[in-house]
Amino acid sequence: MALCFEIYARLTLHTYIFFMCQDLFIDFRKTAGYKKMMNERKPFTTSLNVKILKNVKKLAIDLDKGVNDLLEEAMQDLLQKYDKAPPEKK
C-alpha cells in the first residue's frame, strides 16, 4: 500500500510540474516579444556534415556564441560573396 501511495505521489508531482511548465510556456508564447521574434524568424531544419557541425559547435563554445548565430553569420557572408544584400542586423 505504501508503494502504491509513493508511486501515486510521484506521478501527481510530475503531472503538476508538467502542467505548471506547460502553462509558463503558453504564457510566454502570448507575449508581444515572442510574437515579434517569430515574425522576424522562421524555423529551418536541414542536415549538415557531421565534422563541419562538430567544428561549428566547438567554435560557438570558443566564441561564447550560439550555433544559430554562427550559421546566420556564415549565411550573410555567403550572400555578400554572391553580391546579394544580406538582411540588416538589429
Q: Is the pTM of this model over 0.95?
A: no
Residue pLDDT, tens place only, 26-67: 555 566 666 666 677 888 899 999 999 999 999 999 999 999
pLDDT value, residue 44: 85
pLDDT of residue 51: 97
CA atoms within 13 A on the CB side of 79: 11
How far apart are the C-alpha atoms of 13 and 19, rounded to whole Å?
10
Q: Comparing 23-27, 51-55, 70-74, which segment has the lowest mean pLDDT?
A: 23-27
pLDDT higher than 60, residue 20: no
Helices 67-81 and 50-63, packing angle to 10 deg: 110
**Residues composing the chain:** 90
